[in-house]
Structure formats: structure tokens, C-alpha cells
Chains A and B, each alone.
Chain A
Amino acid sequence: MRNALFTTLTIIFLAAFIHIVAVLSLPYLAPKNAWARVTALTDENQMIVLPAASPSHQSLPLMAPDVRYGVCRFNLDNGPVRLSTQILDDLWSIAFYTPSGENFYAITGRELKRSQIEIIISTQNEVGVKAGASLLDEIEDLIVVDSPVREGIALIRAPLLGPSYASQTEAALQQGSCSKNLPGASLQR
């Protein structure tokens, strides 16, 4: 009897341990998480427009068929990265992610209230903030995003107001850029 109880407890304890290890390790073991997929799609520090979701192709799982996406996989190892894009509608948004898919910052067109935006992505408490601050004279309304990670993803979502908006929306996203060329770099030289 005591033996059976002991066996049961052992199984429960061991199963709980395996359960916890499995859950905690999955984010590091999952081979096809969003970061792996985006890495396969694009080089770092450049903006790409994901092909529209279709029955035969989706760049990321369960993409919205009526949203167009612009992606920048940023790397801040060599300093801040500048993201420029048009924002054609209040409904557009830009969301920033860590490699494990945590959305640490997001801003919508409604909050931006303008159609052309410049964002400086920099690591926390770093030169980017200073660079950004010194440039504020040059460009009004520059947004500085403090990133908790050196590598991550910026994802622009552009919902289509109707099927006829697709080409216009894609063209606007194509104009966007992601680069190491900070505004005012020419002035500093």
C-alpha cells in the first residue's frame, strides 16, 4: 500500500517536472517561431513588404487576407536604426517585437496623426537617444523607440479599407525604409 502511494507520488512529481521543463523550453526549441520565419524572409535592417496572403502562400501563419504587412528585422549592434514609412490611414499601426514575439511597443496612425513618420530604434539608454535628441531640430516629431533587445522585428500593419485599396497600400509600404542612415548623419560629419 505504502509502496503504491510512493510510486504514484513519484510519477506525479516527475510528470510535473517534465511538464515545467517542456513548457519553459519550448520557446527556445520551437523551430518555426515568428523570428525564424522572418529571418528566412529578409536580411537585417531593410524593409520588405510581405506578399499578400493567398491560398497557396502565407509568409507567416494565419496572416489576415485583408491586411498588408511591412517588415523590418532590425539589428542595433552597430547603433540605432531608422525606420521611415508612410502612414496612409488611422488604422495603420507599427508594432515592435522581441525575437520571442513579445510586442513591447506599438503605435497607430490615429495616435501619429500624420502621414510620413520617422522612427529611431535604439537600445535603452544608448547613443540612439542622444542622436535622436540632437536631430530633433532637423526633423520634427521624430519618434525614438527604446528597444529592450538588440535584435527584433518592426511590423507595419496596413488594413485594406476595401479590396480596391490593395495596390495603393502595397505601393505605400514599398516606399518605406529601414536603414542605418540616421537623419542628420551628414550634418555630424
Chain B
Amino acid sequence: MRTLLKFLLIFITALTLGLGSAWYMIEEGSALTTSHLGPWSVWHSAGRPDADPYTKAYMARAGRLPITSTSALYFFANSDESGAQMTSDCEYVIDGQPLNAAWWSLAAYDGSGRLIPNKANRHSFNRTDVARRADGSYRIVLARSARPGNWLPTAEQGSMKLVLRAYGLREAGNVLNKGASTRGLPTIRKVVCK
């Protein structure tokens, strides 16, 4: 009886560890599959036929159809520059430099990936419709109520995340390169919380 109990305990422990670690590496990514650039994280082999098993498992779960990472990258952020989870209770300022891509789009979603309803019907800004300064840089304000300039409306409550898609990214490898670090990717700064 004791032996049986012991085997059961060993099995349950192994099952928890095995499934838990698999779940974590697929859901959250790991050094093997994802890069972190400031608040942004990116699955650097997404969409590639020669991707590793973790990336493939992640893609199957995500249900998305990303363009191969050699020509497009998808950056996800659910926290600000300081690492704090982004929430609709706060306002954020996103400052970006010209990104070396044919096209990019920065969209806001709620914590479960839905677009946020708003009267302005505004869910994203992209390379072609964002208002830019003379040097090509831009500022987007994430807030509940209207702001002058590039205003991206947020929800009444709950967490949120940003997705930055960069199509036709030149030197995709360099963007992921630690040396190039956060070059070109926008910063996300918390301004005020209610």
C-alpha cells in the first residue's frame, strides 16, 4: 500500500512539473523562443517552417497565422516600461521612432484579445495614418477620454495589451539583436492613474 502511494505521489509530482513547465514555456515563452526588447516580447521563429517545437505549440494554441519571421515580426506588450501590467485605470504615452519596415501597425486589445469598443471607432495607428513630427517620430496617447493628436481609446476597466506588427521589416535579425536593443521600437510610459 505504501509503495503504491509512493508511486502515485511520484507520478503526480512528475505530471505537475512536466505539464506545468510545458504550459509555461508555451504560454509565456522562454529564452529559447522569445526575445524581450523593453516592454515588448516577440516569438522570433513564429511562422517559420523550421521553427522549434515550442514555437509550433504556441502557434497552434494562439490560432494566428503570422507571416514568417524572416519578413514580419509581431511584438506584444502587456506591461509598461517599468514592467507594471498595463491597465485601463492608467494613461500611457507611447513614443516611437521611425521603424525600418514597409508598414507597421500598433493596435490595442483588452486582456483577452478583444478590440476595445469606443465611439471614435479607433483601435490602432499605423505607419500611414499616425500623425508624425517632422523627424518622423510620433506620440500616441492611450487614455479613456479624447486627447489631441494620436489618441488610442482604452476601456472602462481591465488589463490591456498592445500588438505592434511590422511587415517587410528590413534587418529583422538586427532588431532582435541585443546590440540593436530597443532601436526603433516605441517606449510605453505610464503618465497618471485614476
Q: Which residues of A contact B (CB under 8 A)?
A: 7, 10-12, 14-19, 22-24, 26-28, 30, 32-34, 36-37, 53-56, 58, 60-62, 64-67, 90-91, 93, 95, 97-98, 100-104, 106, 108, 110, 148, 153, 155, 157, 159-163
Contacts and interface: CB of A to CB of B under 8 A. Distances in A.
Max chain A C-beta neighbours (<10 A), residue from B15, B126, B163: B126
Contact of A7 (B10, B21, B68, B129): B10
B126 A27 contact: no
A60 B64 CA distance: 6
A102 B18 contact: no
A104 B50 CA distance: 10
B60 A26 contact: yes
B54 A23 contact: yes
Contacts of B90: none
A100 B68 CA distance: 13
B115 A54 contact: yes
Contact of A66 (B17, B18, B57, B124): B124
Contacts, number: 173
Contacts of B107: 64-66
B149 interface: no
Contact of A30 (B61, B67, B117): B61
Contacts of B17: 11-12, 15, 18-19
Interface string B58-80: 01111111111001000000000
B57 A23 contact: yes
B94 interface: no
Contacts of B126: 66, 159-160
B182 interface: no
A78 B54 CA distance: 34
Given A102-B49, A103-B67, A110 B114 contact: no
Contact of A103 (B11, B47, B102): B47
20 contacts: A7-B6, A11-B17, A12-B14, A19-B17, A19-B19, A19-B21, A22-B18, A26-B22, A26-B60, A58-B113, A60-B63, A60-B65, A61-B113, A64-B165, A65-B115, A90-B102, A103-B66, A104-B49, A106-B68, A108-B71
A22 B61 CA distance: 12
Given A26-B57, A27-B60, A103 B65 contact: yes
B124 A64 contact: yes
B3 to A, nearest CB: 12
B172 interface: no
Contacts of A33: 59-61, 63
A101 B167 contact: no
B99 interface: no
B105 interface: yes
Interface in B11-56: 11, 13-15, 17-19, 21-23, 25-26, 47-49, 51, 53-54, 56
Max chain B C-beta neighbours (<10 A), residue from A17, A22, A91, A104: A22
Contact of A65 (B47, B54, B64, B123): B123
A58 B115 contact: yes
B177 to A, nearest CB: 22
Closest 5 CB pairs of A and B: A18-B18, A14-B14, A65-B123, A15-B17, A30-B60
A98 B65 CA distance: 10
Contacts of B11: 14
A24 B53 contact: yes
Nearest to B114: A55
